[in-house]
Amino acid sequence: MATESTESSSEAGGATSLQEQFLGALQLTQNATLQFVSAWFDGATELVAKMADMTKLPAVGSLPEPPNSSTSPAVDEFHSVSSRTR
């Protein structure tokens, strides 16, 4: 009878130890997931901020025309043809 009591208490101790290990593993997994999600959201926030800054760039139509400094007749011809099609 005394051995049955000892065996059942050691089994209960083993179950408690297993439960503690399982809960510890869950806590580590939750912490890792929290760090990953936080890092992802920080990166996404930075990306959105940079994209918002891109909208502040001047539109193509508001930029001045480049100077007409061609170095070859082919470039002159290209500019004259492209200006006629506008």
Domain presence at residue 44: yes
Domain presence at residue 70: no
pLDDT (tens digit per residue) in 14-50: 778 999 999 999 999 999 999 999 999 999 999 988 8
Domain holding 43, by residue range, is 23-53
83 — pLDDT class (breaks 50, 70, 90): confident
- Coil, strand or helix at 51: helix
Q: Which two tokens stand for residue 4?
A: 């049955």
Task: Please give the full DSSP string across 19-42, using - where no structure is assigned.
Answer: HHHHHHHHHHHHHHHHHHHHHHHH
- The number of domains in the chain is 1
| pTM reported for the whole predicted model | 0.44
